Amino acid sequence: MSLFCCLVPLKSIDAQLEVKDHVATLVSTLNYENKEDKPLEAVFVFPLPGDAAVCHFSAQIGETHIVAEVKEKQQAQEEYDDALSSGQQAFLLEESDESPDIFSLTVGSLPPGESASIRLEYVTELAVQADDGLRFCLPAVLNLRYQPQGSEGPSVQVTSVPASLVPYSLSFSAQVSSPRPIAKIESSCSLEPLQYLKADQTQATVKLGAGHKFDRDVELLIYYKDAHQPSAVVEAGQVSAKPGSLMGDPVVMVSLYPEFPQSVMSSLATCGEFVFLVDRSGSMGCPMNNSTPQETRISSAKDTLLLLLKSLPMGCYFNIYSFGSSFEHIFPTSVEYSEKTMKEALEKVEKMGSNLGGTEILQPLKHIYSQACISKHPRQVFVFTDGGGGNTKEVTDLVKKNAGSHRCFSFGIGEGASSALINGIAKEGGGHAQFITGADRMQPKVMQSLRFALQPAVEDISVSWGLPKGASATVLSPPIKAIFQGQRSLIYAQLTGQVGSPASHFEADCSVTVKYSLKTFDLLQMLDVSPSCLRLTVHRLAARTVIRSLESEERTRRGQQDEKVKKKVVELSIQSGVSSCFTAFIAVNKDSGKAVQGPLVRRNVPTGDSIYECSGLLKLTSCTHLSSSFHVTGGDDLDSEGSTRSVPEPPQPHKDPLLQLVSLQKASGSWMLDEDLAAVLGKTKEEVEKAKPELVGLWASILALIWLHAFKMDAKEEWELLSMKAASWIKAQNGNIHNHQGTPVFKCIGTLFKSNVNLTSHCATVHGAEKSILHCYWLIELLKK
């Protein structure tokens, strides 16, 4: 162990984050030191957000500062090799061919006793969570990615160790500013107290607590007051860039964050085809988090499927797929939702384990898309996975190809799930992405996404521009496929023509109008465009958007005119200074004075691996004079003969009373009065039956709803949809809330729970079953006594 630690030249990482409203810039400084008696080449493979635009790379060696250039990838690699062969110091940063969220940094010819600081900068948009928080994630965990059968090996080799053995430190600080006050900043990691820099709370700073163990990503959730505020900003072009180019012209960024009328949002869809695709690879047997090791990822996914199936509307269609190295489905094709099909599905869900091997998501997706769509039932696909694979781009391209026939909602489970995969399939599928990390519970986040899926579809989205005469706007973003309540959508556009000097702030009168239809409403958002205080950030994000679109087009057209598209990507990447899969950053120290002498020794710098930690498997390769590194099997463990096997699952915990109650609900939304229901209520069946009115069916469902409101309000997001279904069922029975003797149901409830409260006056003011059940919350306090 000690030999390994001393052979790793990376000593520390310092990360500084600057957030302006919903755009983030991260500057990371990686400090290297060679304490050996021979020159080193250090290779560090690490994760970055999949949608980040890497825009700066430089090195500091003593007094020499070298700024890297973006060049075509093969040319950059050849220049790096040539520099090393001639004894020069060189630095290479390149994006993985397989996935845009993995980068490789190579530090070459670091002489004995020499130090170097590497500066890496990227910009990214912050995704909005369902609770209106903006999520920034600094990935600190990189699980080995599954290589699908028949595919080529990865272009970069990942070296991972348990988080506790990562031999370098991390410091992290963030400065946040916004036109709106900052309500709070939260994290799954230990933070120092938030410090406001202005009295109006529009600026704040926060730091990561010391001693980060690399067992989790550094996640920040930023909450602003009055969050639903659309905006449009314009950023002046780069002075040195050619007018008419993307970097030379002004670029507008339009941020849409709609809040739809409550009258529309309160009505949820009663149709749809819901397809749930669940990861059952070996790593799904890992604990959700360290504080609750008895709850595994697969057990949490099964509980989530229970809530999902109970919350679906009658008359819709559904199916459940599960995958690993192979895939399975519960029904040959999607079936109509009923008591019979729901019960059959839940029986099979209960038997699911993390026993299907690897993480091959492409084949089940192909099978889902091969199924004919059901008329008047829009397809909604929910994808649950804790990993990623070497075919991320192929998967997202497949989702994009089928985006016209479905929406895709994705969930990254645990630390180290591929952000490129999770965000990519949601973005291309017009859906919503969520990450379940740290102490997060899967169920509320998934139910939030189900609410999105049940929202009315936004249609006929169009954008128009109010520009000065002689000016025009070219939209750079792909067309917006969907707009959800509480989800931000971004539009980038390049302004050309008579729009003022590129070197000055944009001063012409400019506006943008977004129009869309929602059920019977035609909605408009009209925004005035204001100057941006950002420094080429908008241009780089716009360039990243165009680059990703071109890369996808190149893959689609591969074998035809792909070289022409590839050339466009390389040209834009070099012009904007933003990385791509076809380019790399290269820096060569040509002023070092003398050539580095002696044979070069490679050292692989490891990352933390959460799967490695949870599996309890540790395989150490031989430590030789020339090479030393830890090796782990990765997210889907291999036995001694190379076969995939699952991580052993700990014993299942006692089922939560909420899930017990939910499991008893019928597909219609009702409950039956039996011993199991009485047990959840804390009563015997005899006690419940003795107090019941003659309305037998209503009685059980009324008790279940009141129990939810009385004792599980902290989990309301999980059961709200199924309670709405129950209330609708009760209302449809046209039952009245009195028994045959005219005694109110309320009095029966009071008798059951031995309350001395006189309910007569309350009953006199309440009319209708639904109103009685859902609005008389004084009963909640009654039940708590």
Per-residue pLDDT band at 415 (split at 50, 70, 90): confident
pLDDT given at position 767: 38
In which element (H, E) is residue 466 found? strand 458-466
- In angstroms, the first-to-last Cα distance of the chain is 58
pLDDT band at 610 (very low <50, low <70, confident <90, very high): low
Higher pLDDT, 38 or 732: 38
| Class of domain 231-264+458-560 (CATH, top level) | mainly beta
Q: pTM score, two decimals? A: 0.82
DSSP string, 363-414: HHHHHHHHSPPBTTB-EEEEEEES--BTTHHHHHHHHHHTGGGEEEEEEEES
Q: What is the mean pLDDT of residues 669-688?
A: 85
Cα dihedral sign for 260, 265, 269, 274? positive
- In DSSP notation, 579-591 reads --TTEEEEEEETT
pLDDT of amino acid 473: 93
State residue 294 phi and psi, 5-degree precision.
-75, -15
| Dist. CA 502–CA 487, nearest whole Å | 32
CA dihedral 25, 29, 30, 33 (to 10 degrees): 170
Q: Report pLDDT for 570.
A: 96
pLDDT of amino acid 24? 95
Domain at 269-454: CATH code: 3.40.50.410
Q: Can you give the pLDDT at residue 693?
A: 56
**What's the rounded mean pLDDT across residues 357-376?**
92
DSSP assignment, residue 415? T
What is the rounded average pLDDT of the residues 231-244? 89
Q: pLDDT tier at 165 (50, 70, 90 boundaries)? A: confident
pLDDT of residue 75: 96
| Whether 140 contacts 608, CB under 8 Å | yes
Cα separation, 31 vs 114, whole angstroms: 11
Pairing of strands 160-161, 134-138: unpaired
> CA-CA distances (angstroms) from residue 635 to 215, 330, 593?
14, 25, 46
pLDDT at 670: 92
- Of the listed ranges 152-166, 345-359, 438-452, 611-625, the least confidently predicted one is 611-625
- Could you give phi then psi for residue 651, rounded to 5 degrees? -55, 145
Query: Taking all residues of the chain, what is their mean pLDDT, rounded to a whole number?
Result: 81
- Residue 238 tokens read as 């780069």
Q: Per residue in 134-153, pLDDT tens?
A: 999 888 766 666 566 655 55
pLDDT exceeds 80 at position 49:
yes
The first and second tokens of residue 468, run together, are 């000065």
Query: Which percentage of the chain shows pLDDT scores above 90?
Result: 40
Asked if 534 and 236 count as a contact pair (C-beta separation under 8 A), the reply is no
Compute the residue count for the chain. Answer: 785
Q: Are 219 and 140 in contact (CB under 8 A)?
A: no
Encode pLDDT of 262-299 as tens digits.
Answer: 777 667 778 899 999 999 998 899 888 777 777 899 99
Asked whether the beta carbons of 246 and 543 are under 8 A apart, the reply is yes
pLDDT recorded at residue 188: 82
Higher local confidence (pLDDT), 471 or 212: 471
In this prediction, residue 460 has a pLDDT band, given cuts at 50, 70 and 90, of: confident
- State pLDDT tens for residues 532-579: 877 899 999 999 999 999 998 888 776 555 788 899 999 999 999 999
Identify which of 155-169, 334-348, 438-452, 480-494 has the greatest average pLDDT. Answer: 334-348
Q: How many CA atoms lie within 13 A of 582 on its CB side?
A: 21
Residue 384 is predicted with a pLDDT of 95
> Which candidate, 11, 288, 290, 15, places its Cα nearest to that of 138?
15
Q: Where are the domains of the chain?
A: 231-264+458-560, 269-454, 657-784
Provide the pLDDT confidence category of residue 368 given band limits of 50, 70 and 90. Answer: very high
Res 600: pLDDT = 72
Residue 395 vs residue 631, higher pLDDT: 395
Greater confidence (625 vs 636) lies with: 636
Burial of 440 (0-12, 13-18, 19+ CB in 10 A): middle
Give the span between the Cα atoms of 703 and 748, in whole angstroms.
11
pLDDT for 149 equals 61
598 near 38, Cβ under 8 Å? yes
183 vs 22, 38, 218, 223, CA distance in Å? Answer: 14, 52, 20, 5
pLDDT at residue number 703: 83
Q: What pLDDT, on the 0 to 100 scale, is given for residue 752? A: 59
Q: How far apart are CA 666 and CA 689, in angstroms?
A: 20
Neighbours of 356 (CB within 10 A): 24
Provide the pLDDT for residue 691. Answer: 62
What DSSP assignment string belongs to 612-673?
Answer: HHHHT--EE----SS---EE---SS-B-TTS-B-PPPPPPPPPPPHHHHHHHT--TTS----
Q: Which residue has the higher pLDDT, 514 or 780?
A: 514
Higher pLDDT, 686 or 356: 356
Tell which phi-psi region holds residue 269, choosing left (phi > 0), alpha (psi between -120 and 50) or beta.
beta
Closest among 470, 543, 494, 464 to 235, alpha carbons compared: 494
Coil, strand, or helix at residue 706? helix
In contact, 109 and 41? CB cutoff 8 Å:
yes
Asked if residue 51 has pLDDT above 70, the reply is yes
Lowest mean pLDDT across 253-267, 343-357, 454-468, 692-706: 692-706
Look at residue 98 in the predicted model and tell me its pLDDT: 80
Cα–Cα distance, 665 to 675 (Å, whole number)? 14
Asked whether the predicted pLDDT for residue 662 surpasses 80, the reply is: yes
DSSP-assigned letters across all residues of 166-227: --SEEEEEEEEE-SS-EEEEEESS-BPPPEESSTTS-EEEEEBPS---SSS-EEEEEEETT-
Has residue 28 got a pLDDT over 90? yes
Q: What is the pLDDT of residue 158?
A: 65
